[in-house]
Structure 1
Amino acid sequence: MTTSPAPAPAHIEVDGVPATDPGVLAAVMSGYGHFTAMQVRDGRVKGLGLHLDRLDRATRELFGEPLPGQRVRDLLARALGASGRRDASARVYVYEGGPLVRVAVAVREAAPDGLGAPQRLTAVGYLRPAAHLKHLGGFGQRYHGDAARRAGFDEALLTTPAGELAEGAVTNIALWDGTSLNWPTAPHLTGITMELLTRRLPSRHRPVTLEELPRFRAALVTNSRGIAAVTAVDGVTYEVDEELMERVRGAYAAVPGEEIVSGDGGGSAD
């Protein structure tokens, strides 16, 4: 019995220049993988352990292997050191590889601290595939987000065919009823900022429909870049609840940052 020879590696060029590592570029070009995004302040990240745990879970689900937290910490520290930044917006991308998954880190200028500008949303009937994963290949959410901005809104609000709220194109949404933040339970990604806030503020996770929106007193969105009030979802408008937003801002500000370079040399998602 004869065996087939191993396929020759792909030849890949970028703008006419051969790629220095075609294997890495081929993994990136596949569009199959996942990532996490975070804000780094003085070498610390709020909810770093949650980021590491989520990276590990998604890597096991997609590629059948763990992603040790210490490996991610080391790569983050290396990229930050090479960039000369202590404050940064950082992303960790995970792609298929062999024998280990490939991990890419991108660092750029940090997002401003504090509350973001109020947002106007428009509802669209769309759900991300495998919404529990922060996966690559977000064509649908980018398409609807861009269409929302061209129509004069700031963000798209993704909903089920039955009108149940899921998430923003790149955010989580919460509706304030005067007592609790209500986080919709249609298929969505549990964002790290969302998770940190639900641990510190009265919160409920329940189905929320478009028909219910006028009953709420206020709304807000969250993602890795921060928190912002929502002033409209299509024809439903909200006043900015300054007391609520200050309470939310204070809760998030009180979350301690976790050192990227761990003191004990161990990761939190091994």
Structure 2
Amino acid sequence: MNHGICGLSAVPVRAEPTDRAELVTELLFGECYTVLQTQGSWLRMEAAADNYLGWIDAKQHQPVSPSYFAAWRAQDHPRVLDVVQVVSSAERRQPITLGCRLPFFDGMTLQLGDDNPLFFNGTATNLAQCSLPERQLVVLRKMGQQFLKAPYVWGGKNIFGVDCSGLTQTLFGLVGMQLPRDARQQIALGEPVDFVTQAQPGDLAFFDNADGAIVHVGLVLDDGFILHASGEVRLDPLDHHGIFDRERQKYSHKLRLIKRLL
């Protein structure tokens, strides 16, 4: 079985093997995957972190050895905390963004597949502190603010285009928690919070449509506000009805459930 790693800042993952197909998610730099099928110049892959399925352009595929893939899966990897940073070598220099993984990072270099090491001189998560609840909340608050005004892009996971569940998945990844990709999957995690007045910063709030399907998720922050991606990443008031859009003076999303993961 063939494996690969995302060697670009982000690689689009599509529902069908064509550039015209729906963007269902993205692979971010440093993220491994398994190739399941080849069709023309497209590869059907399964993301190693969240088991999401989709098609990537073979030109954006960077193969890795089975031993590298196994080692990658066996441990957590630090994440980038800068909005934009650079990894480099004597022959290579490229941008990466907030939330990207730094495989096998030793404080100076990382190992992207079986290539030569790449240098990274930016800020990264401290894996030893990821399990500390007080540190987790600090990171969620601070990094959530960095995403403000990022444009909404269906299927996006990076700071230059992100959807609601891509935002929460990326933010929780910064505190060492791997969430499923979609809001309807994320709602299965954590413990229910009975009343919105009992919600705490770091909780996830979920919202449904008229048919009762979960269609939106956001991160509860301080003072009754929620960080979520709707048109752009924004902060809006949250109450027992849902999210209130102050610009349009109406509720934009109907609250279904709040879950506590931290």
TM over 0.5: no
The structure richer in helix per residue is 1
Relative CO higher for 1 or 2, CA cutoff 8 Å, sep ≥ 6? Answer: 1
Larger Rg, first or second structure (1 or 2): 1
The structure richer in strand per residue is 2
| TM-score computed with the length of structure 1 as normaliser | 0.28
